[in-house]
Structure 1
Amino acid sequence: MPKWLKILLKVLGALILLFILLAVGVTIYVANNKEKVLAQVTKKLNENLDGTLTVGDIKPSFFSNFPAVSLVLKNVVIRDRQFPRHHHTLLDAKDFNVSVNAASLFRGVISINNIGINNASIDLYTDSTGYSNTAVFKKGKKDSVKADANEGNSSTQLKKFSLSNVSFTINNQKNYKLFNFAVSSLNGKMNYPDTGWHANVHLNVLAKSMAFNTKRGSFIKNKQINTDLEAGFNEETGKISVKSDNFDIGGDVFGLNALFVTGKGDDSFSFHLTNDKLLWRNASALLAPNITKVLNRFNLDKPIGVKAIISGSFDGGDPYFHVAAVVNNNKLTIPGGVIDDCNFNAVFTNENIKGKGFSDANSVIKLAKFKGSYSNLPFAIDTGSITNLEVPIATGNFKANFPVTNFNSLLGAKVAKFTKGTADMNLRYKADIINLQLNKPVVQGTINLKGINISYIPRNLNLTNSSISLDFTGNDLLLKNIRLQSGQSIVRMEGQVKNFMNLYYSAPEKILINWQVTSPQIYLAEFLGFLNTAKPSGKPAKRTNSENAVKQLATVLNSAKADMHMRINELHYRKFLASNVNADLLLSEDGIRINQVSLNTAGGSLKLNGNLVQKGRVNDFIVATTISSVNVSQFFYAFDNFGLTDLTNENLRGFLSAKTSTTGSITNTGDIVKHSIRGKVLINLKDGALLNFKPIKSVGKFAFPFRDLDNITLSALNGDFDIMGDRITINPMEISSSVLNMDVAGVYGLTNGTDIALDVPLRNPKNDSKITDKEELQKKRFKGIVLHIRAHEEEGKLKIGWNKNHK
């Protein structure tokens, strides 16, 4: 062995022996001077305290921080002077380990380098007046360092510190804050650069409460925190900075940057947390219960990226929150529905307006670049927000473009079914939020439906190759460029609804749509769905946004009124054909009001007013008509002989003018209910003829067997009829014809009950047409023998005989 190595080993051995002897000496010293050492330690720890610090016992523990000497203090208790009043002990430690400088100890001076607290509770308490038990720590005097120097002692600097099995509480009654942590282990090492100090800390604690406002509950409640921290203090600025790349909260790892400002009347804090892969439910579980309860009604299936800022003051008030999230290709579950393929950026802050405080009323959720698909309806919200979380209001710009068939999954079988076409929406919306659902949204913008085929289920109406443009302007709704096609009918419409947005939710029955309608041709049979009573929209809507929207739409469509001003070139209904149709119609939930209808038909014209009351399969109507110079044969043919069987279009010729005022019933398929018509009919027939009319022929066979009754010409005929279902009352009427003259009165029964009186002169009026003097014609009309005949029904058969009751 080289000589120099032998010398080195001897020196090392001597040093080791010296340390051992020193340790033994300290042991002996402490054992023999326990009371003195305990008094020295207590005195040192009581420096700068305004209260009491008591130590139950002291024991040496040399090898835990060798070569420094460790003293184990038992049952250490620190209390402020006001403890008898508030009963909160600041520190109660079963084991308080203090590492002291051995050389200083022999000189009778305690120099503490390391502190370890085990099996303890720390309670930092502030009462409702603002008094804190931390007042036990007095501020040191400016010349304390000089005094220590004069005593030959350097200022104390901790090298290590640790906590194990410690309950740590900050209870601020004045500012409603409660922080409570169960510290399993906390170990730190410190060094002291010129600017202050720097520490590396390992932390493993259970956060039992982290309530910035106890009225709202705790954040990260009962979450385990496990992390390594780097912390530093700058004496000049009074700021403590904390950083961690592995801040584990309940299994989710965050990046942390924190800043604490102390002194100069500013005791503030700021936390910056980041996590690129955080599940929604895990994030909500970190927040206060009132927030968690709301957020748990939503969910995102995949992790999201989150950046959060929490800052405030330890002196009081709610902290400031700013949370930013990035969502990509996710599935968002909302109350009552799911948004697939969801992408958006979101920001939450509780300071929407600077200077208005940190509160729910001043909170806002901002959305940007929101894209997704709801019930197969792809949409985008370029910007959106929810403001004032006490009384939430949602606003945003909604855009969508998709095939209209995608509507079917949303509408179900309640309102309509689309089979073709596209929808384009560009809307600005504003809505209250009640129970996390949009309530009565108000919209501005446009909705365009193009090339659509749709079945409107409540009215059993089918439209093809149609288009609709809705323009929401202010409170009004403008309906533009509307083209509706049903079968061969083509309708073009323009319309508007005043005060639409106010009435849509509060009073849909007051909505009045003013329509301007034009059409080259309409086949009424294709719109018979409007004779149906609107079908109910199905079972009551669930409390979801989509179901409520569908139900409200169905309610509005069924309840709203439509004032239609129609101009139609040709109108077809079965055998009826009209041209130059002008009509004003009022469509409502109860039926159709017909105002000032005018048209040309059968070579003449017709004007009509009336009302159709919907009652189900059979609907009631009231109609008043004025008919001018129509071809009577064509007219009867067009209206299917008005339900008559004996008098038909084949029996008539001439030009008819009439006034009617009738009531009746019509089925939802457009058929007049037999014998339902009641009312008054006044007719004037010019250049008329009765062709093969059975009732007249029956009388003629009895009275005039040798006259031609197959073709009876009438120069003029005026009639006054009262219709009562299956019976027509013929008010006294003069008939002057080429075959015979007669006066007729009585009742004609369509099924039974016929009882007609006929006064028939026997003279042949064949040449009466040559008489031009009306008085002379009237005298000759009943000249000669007059037969008084009665046609009445007995036992279901029509019998012709003499009228014995004639006076």
Structure 2
Amino acid sequence: MPRWARWVFRGVLVVFLFMIVAYVSLAWYINTHKEEVLVSVTSELNEGITGTIEIGDMNPTFLTGFPRVSLRLEKVVVKDSLYANHGKILLKAESLDIAVNAMALMRGTIEIKKIAIADAAITMYTDSLGYSNASVFKKGKKSKGGGGGSFPELRKLDLENVTFVIDNQKSGKLYNFAIDGLKGSIDYTSDGWDADIKLNTLVHSMAFNTRKGSFIKDQRVAGKFDISYKDTDSLIVIKKNPLEIGGEDFSVGGRFKTGSPQAKFAINIENKSILWRNAANLLSPNITGKLLMFDIKKPIAVKCDLIGDFNEKGDPLIRVNADVSDNILDTPGGAVDNCSFFGIFTNNHVKDNGFNDANSAIKLFGFKGDYSGIPIAMKKVYILNLEKPVAVGDFASTFKMEKLGSIIDTDLLKFSKGTADVKLDFSADIVDFRLSKPLVNGVVAIKDADVGYVPRKLDFKDISVALNFTKDDLFISKIILKSGKSTVNMDGSIKNFLNLYYSDPAKIVLTWNIHSPQLHLGEFMGFLGSRQRKAVPVKKARKGNMTEDLNLLFEKSNVDMKLRVDKLYYNRFFATDAKADILLTDNGVVVKNAGLKHAGGSLMINGMMLQQGKVNKYSLDAVISDVDINKFFYAFNNFGMETLKAEHLKGLVSSKASVTGSITDAGAMVPKSMYGTVTFGLRKGKLIDFDPVKNVGKFAFPFRDMKNIDFYNLNGKFDIKGEKVTIHPMKINSSVLNMDVEGVYSFGKGTEIYVDVPLRNPKKDKDITDKEELAKRRNRGIVLHLKAVDDEDGKVKVKLGGKKE
């Protein structure tokens, strides 16, 4: 070994031996002066506080704080001066290790450079009046190092198995950390200090507002903090560093203003890849519950800012930004694929309205995606006031009508072609995750669509329609509807449509103006029957909400139609210039002021139909004026009569009818179901080749022309009761004979008609114009009394025999 090396070795050995001797001397000194040292340490620590420090025992721990001397204090309790009032112990530790300056200790003074606390509980308590037990540290003397008292001189701070609680009753805040390990080193500067801290803790509570709950509750936080403090502005700055929170990797930084009366802070948290649900669960329950109305399947980038004042009541400012790209968004109304948007949550939507749920908002910008294959775009959407949520925004989409099959069940509406262009601005309440009381402005334009309304088996071709939404009203225009041979032009409106759509569809009334140059009623007979509603299969549950809403709308809403038809067809019936006011409800049809021209005359109708399944009840009041009776009977299929038919009749009939009856879903009259009263008048009437009359003629008037009988101003009244028609006494004046008729005609069995026939030939009196004279002559001579009844075969037979008085 070279000489210089030996000298260096010997020097190091001397220093080491000196330190061993010094440590042994200090150990001897501490052990022999234990009480004095304990009193000195206790006194020094009490110098920096306004309360008391109690130490149960003290022992030296060599090498732990080398080259300093370490002392282990056991059973340490720190209390503030008002402990007796509130009962909150500031510090209670099983052991507290302190590293002191050895030279100062030899001089009889204590300079603490490091504190290590283990198995302890620290509780910083502030009562409702603002007093804090942390005020125990407010007293202190200035030191050469620029700090105040003993604690600011610390160079090292270690915590192990320490519960740290900040309970602020005045501002309603509660922070509770179970610290498994904390290691910190502090370097003092001319204007403050810098610290490096490594932390591993379980957060039981970080509640800025105890009424709203805790952020990152029961989540583990682990990582490093680079902290600096400037005394000139009392500002603590935490540089951005990686930090693990709840198993997720975050970047966290912050700024904290110390002192009084303000203790402002700003915490910045960022994660470039985290699931929406995991991020939401790190916030307080009142916010988490709102954000979890939605879910985003793939990881997203989020940033969160918390800005507030530890001394103020209520929540801090909370602002969360989320950047979503090519993702899947799950909403209460279904999933949106290929979804992209920039989202913001804030609890301070209006700057001066405070930090609370009522002033909170979820904001989405540049929203794009596909909803069940339908492309949607929204420039901005806000969900405001999370106490009573309101959705505000815009909506645009252009798509093929066939795409609606993925959200509307094909057992309700079936779309086979056409396009839709949607541009809307909207505002709506959100109740139980559903829109309520919406206000909408905008247009839905549908072109060249083929639609099948399945419950009523109705098919419409080449539909074009414009739906104009103006706040809560709906205006429908430019509708061209084709079904078979029918063409219909329509426009209409619904007052308070969207509000009632979501709250009470039964109160919806569609005011509908309809004009058709040609309408075939048979193509719309599906409206007569009850809707054939089918249950939505479980596999279609995803689109069940839309289907069920529309089902309810079609079933419960009312339609008030103003109908105008140039040419109207129904089976054999043909009319022109038809008009009617029609009210369609969920259980029937009401017709008012219906009028039309038919068979050279006119008809006026008022009535209603009650839907009761396959057979429907109707009531009808009709006025017929100067209608060709031949065409009239032909059009209505002889009203179900088997004997008297259109080919037997000629003339102009006028009538008033008030009847009830039944009609099938297919629009056919149910036989023997009609009840009511019919009065009629026949001008220029003629009965042609009618068998019952010919049979009478063969028996009584073999030499008169019974095939062609002219009638003069025939008037009558019938009471209809099912299959039987009661004929009130009726005088029939004709070219071949006169008759007095009354009785019952039955569509089945039970016909019993009495006919009094004067045998005098009416031709003999054709030149007499005096009515009284004609009446006298009418029954001169022989009067034949006949009775028409049905036999066992159901055919009507005429017999001799008058009505018994």
Q: Distance in 2 between matches of 1:351 and 1:14?
A: 69
Is residue 205 of structure 2 the alignment partner of residue 209 of structure 1?
yes
Mark the CA change 1:219 to 1:88 in structure 2 (over 3 Å): closer, same or farther.
Answer: same
Deviations 1:336-366 (A, max 9, x none): 6433333222212222222322222222222
Match of 1:383 among 380, 397, 406: 380
- Map of 1:124 onto structure 2: 124
Give the structure 2 partner of residue 557 of structure 1.
554
Cα distance change on mapping 1:137 and 1:729 into 2, 3 Å: closer
8 Å CA contact 2:436–2:502 kept in 1: the answer is no
Q: Check 1:135–1:503 CA distance in 2 against 1; reply closer, same or farther (3 A cut).
A: closer
Name the structure 1 match of 2:99: 99
Q: Report the Cα offset of residue 123 of structure 1.
A: 2.0
Partner of 1:348: 345
Letter in 2 for 1:803: G
User: What SS class does the counterpart of residue 313 from structure 2 fall into?
Assistant: coil
Residue 648 and residue 50 in structure 1: after superposition, are their counterparts in 2 closer, same or farther (change >3 A)?
A: same
Quote the residue 1:674 is aligned against: 671
Q: Does 1:73 align with 2:73?
A: yes
RMSD of Structure 2 on Structure 1 (CA): 3.3
Alpha-carbon offset, residue 216 of structure 1: 2.9
Matches of 1:743 and 1:491, distance apart in 2 = 50
Distance in 2 (alpha carbons) for counterparts of 1:247 and 1:138: 32
For residue 668 of structure 2, what is the amino acid of its counterpart?
D
Deviates more, 1:293-302 or 1:97-106: 293-302
Give the distance between the partners of 1:147 and 1:352, measured in 2 at CA. 44
Distance 1:753 1:551 in 2: 51
Cα distance, 1:262 vs structure 2:
1.1
Q: Which residue is equivalent to 1:247?
A: 243
User: Given the alignment of the two structures, is residue 303 of structure 1 paired with residue 303 of structure 2, yes or no?
Assistant: no
2:760–2:782 CA contact under 8 A, matched in 1? yes
Secondary structure of the equivalent of 1:701?
helix
Give the whole-Å Cα distance in 1 for the aligned partners of 2:275 and 2:342. 16
Following the alignment from structure 1 to structure 2, what is the Cα–Cα distance between the partners of residues 58 and 28? 14
Give the counterpart of 1:500 among 497, 510, 514: 497
Deviates more, 1:33-42 or 1:227-236: 33-42
Answer yes or no: is 1:433 the counterpart of 2:430: yes
Q: Secondary structure at the match of 2:670?
A: coil
Structure 2: how far apart are the matches of 1:128 and 1:761? 116
Partner-residue secondary structure (3-state), 1:192: strand
Task: Give the partner amino acid of 1:35.
Answer: E
- Aligned letter for 1:139? K
The residue number in structure 1 matching 2:661 is 664
Greater mean alpha carbon deviation, residues 476-485 or residues 169-178: 169-178
Encode CA deviations 1:255-284: one digit per residue, 9 max, x unaligned.
111111112532222211001111233223
Moved more, 326-335 or 774-783: 774-783
Partner of 1:468: 465
Q: Select the residue among 519, 523, 527 that pairs with 1:522.
A: 519
Match of 1:173 in 2: 169
Counterpart check, 1:592 vs 2:592: no
Q: In the TM superposition, what is the alpha-carbon distance from 1:252 to its structure 2 partner?
A: 0.8
Distance in 2, matches of 1:521 and 1:528, equals 16
Structure 2 residue 267 is matched with structure 1 residue 263:
no
Q: CA deviation at 1:221?
A: 2.2
Amino acid in the other structure paired with 1:800: V
Query: Which of these residues, 302, 325, 329, is aligned with residue 328 of structure 1?
Result: 325
Secondary structure in 2 matching 1:109: coil
Aligned residue for 2:638, secondary structure, equals helix
Partner of 1:705: 702
CA distance 1:686–1:182, shift in 2 (3 Å): closer
Alignment of 1:346-425 (within 5 A): 346-412=343-409, 415-425=412-422
Q: What residue is the counterpart of 1:455 in the other structure?
A: 452
234-243 vs 334-343, which moves further: 334-343
Distance 1:285 1:779, change over 3 A: closer
Counterparts in 2 of 1:143-154, with a 5 A limit? 145=144
1:593 counterpart letter in structure 2: V
Summarize deviations over 1:168-205 as a string: whole Å, max 9, x none: 22222333322222222211222223221111111112
- Structure 1 equivalent of residue 798 of structure 2: 800
Distance 1:763 1:335 in 2: 88
Aligned partners of 2:342 and 2:762: how far apart in 1?
98
Q: Which residue of the partner structure matches residue 156 of structure 2?
A: 160
Amino acid at match of 1:721: F
Q: 1:641 aligns with which of 638, 643, 647?
A: 638
CA–CA distance in structure 2, aligned partners of residues 747 and 86 of structure 1: 105
Instruction: Give the Cα–Cα distance (whole angstroms) in 2 for the partners of residues 162 and 779 of structure 1.
Output: 136
Q: CA 1:764–1:126 in structure 2 vs 1: closer, same or farther (change >3 Å)? A: closer
In structure 2, the residue matched to 1:16 is: 16
Deviates more, 1:263-272 or 1:20-29: 20-29
Q: Using a 3 Å threshold, how does the CA distance of structure 1 residues 682 and 113 change in structure 2: closer, same or farther? A: closer
Please state how far the C-alpha of 1:239 moved relative to its aligned partner. 0.3
Q: Which moved more, 1:795-804 or 1:307-316?
A: 795-804
Question: Residues 530-557 of structure 1: CA distance to partner in whole angstroms, max 9, x if unpaired?
Answer: 2113456758999x99756654543343
Q: Name which of 731, 736, 759 aligns with 2:728.
A: 731
Local SS of the residue matching 1:329: strand
Which one-letter code corresponds to 1:39 in the other structure? V
Relative distance call for 1:254 and 1:771 in structure 2 (3 A) is same
Q: Show CA shifts across 1:87-110 (max 9, x none).
A: 332223333222233333333333
Q: What is the Cα deviation at residue 9 of structure 1?
A: 3.9
Partner of 2:214: 218
Aligned equivalents of 2:338 and 2:188: distance in 1? 54
Match of 2:56 in 1: 56
Percent sequence identity is 44
1:111-138 CA distance string (max 9 Å, x none): 3322222332222222333322222224
Q: What residue identity is the alignment partner of 1:134?
A: A
Contact 1:437 1:545 in 2 (8 A): no
Could you say which residue in structure 2 is the equivalent of 1:574? 571
Unaligned runs of 5+ in 1: none
Q: Structure 1's 698 and 117: CA in aligned 2 closer, same or farther, altered over 3 A?
A: same
Q: Which residue in the other structure is 1:689 paired with?
A: 686
SS of residue paired to 1:103: helix
Secondary structure of the equivalent of 1:650? helix
1:667–1:162: structure 2 CA closer, same or farther, 3 Å change rule?
Answer: same
The farther-off stretch of 205-214 and 544-553 is 544-553
CA distance in 1, matches of 2:384, 2:678: 67
Which residue number in structure 2 is paired with residue 760 of structure 1? 757
Taking structure 1 as reference, are residues 188 and 775 closer, same or farther at Cα in structure 2, changes over 3 Å only?
A: same
Equivalent pair of 1:684/1:717 in contact (CA under 8 Å)? yes
Contact persistence 1:533–1:615 (CA under 8 A): yes
User: Secondary structure at the residue paired with 1:705?
Assistant: coil
Structure 2 CA distance for partners of 1:666 and 1:436, relative to 1, 3 Å: closer
Q: Is the 8 A contact 2:595 2:603 kept in 1?
A: yes
Go from structure 1 to structure 2 and tell me whether the alpha carbon gap of 1:216 and 1:608 turns closer, same or farther (over 3 Å shift). closer
8 Å contact from structure 1 (residues 228, 244) kept in 2: no
Q: CA separation of 1:742/1:433 partners in 2, compared to 1, >3 Å: closer, same or farther?
A: closer
Output one character per residue of 1:392-420: Cα deviation in whole Å (capped at 9) or x when no partner. 22222233333333333433367433333
Q: Give 1:696 deviation, angstroms.
A: 0.6
Q: Deviations over 1:141-194 (max 9, x none)?
A: 46x659999xxx999743322222222222223333222222222112222232
- Quick check: 1:438–1:545 contact (8 Å CA) kept in 2? no
Does the aligned pair in 2 maintain the 1:419–1:454 contact within 8 Å? yes
Report the equivalent of 2:113. Answer: 113
- Give the Å deviation of 1:5: 4.2
Q: Is the 8 A contact 1:761 1:786 kept in 2?
A: yes
- 1:312 corresponds, among 293, 302, 308, to 308
Distance of aligned partners of 1:155 and 1:8 in 2 relative to their CA distance in 1, 3 Å threshold: farther
In structure 2, relative to structure 1, the CA distance for the partners of 1:440 and 1:545 (3 Å cut) is: farther
